[in-house]
Amino acid sequence: MIKVSVLYPKQQDTNFNMSYYLNHHIEMVRQLLGARLKGVMVEEGISGTEPGSSACYAAMGHLLFESVEDFQSSFGPHAQKIVGDIPNYTNSQPIIQISEVKL
């Protein structure tokens, strides 16, 4: 299983519209990527390890695929539309990581 993680770093001036992200962006991603997308997880950062500290990430989105090839072939044709939607919900510059799930 392959997990594509999109991490949105949180700075003092970071804005993140979770409602838009969940109800519009993620739904658009699901439609565009189709059956090759095996699962989606969304997390909202609420805190760091110290009481009262800020989370490192405003949000994290995780997409599951059977293979890197499934990700590339489903995402590639729609990359411009998906990436172009980012300014509609955040001013954070996402960090993307592709991982192989081991457990």
pLDDT over 70 percentage in the chain? 100
Instruction: State how far the Cα of 21 lies from the Cα of 102, in Å rounded to an integer.
Output: 28
Cα dihedral 77, 99, 21, 73 in deg (nearest 10): 10
Determine the CATH number of domain 2-100.
3.30.70.100
The pTM of the full predicted model, rounded to 2 decimals, is 0.95
Q: What is the DSSP letter of 98?
A: E
Q: Side-chain half-sphere of 44: how many Cα atoms within 13 Å? A: 9
Q: What is the pLDDT of residues 53-68, one digit of tens each?
A: 999 999 999 999 999 9
Mean residue pLDDT across the chain:
97
pLDDT over 90 percentage in the chain? 100
- What is the reported pLDDT for 87? 98
Q: Side-chain half-sphere of 50: how many Cα atoms within 13 Å? A: 4
Q: What is the pLDDT of residues 16-43, one digit of tens each?
A: 999 999 999 999 999 999 999 999 999 9
User: Phi/psi at 13 (nearest 5 deg)?
Assistant: -100, 15
Q: Where are the domains of the chain?
A: 2-100
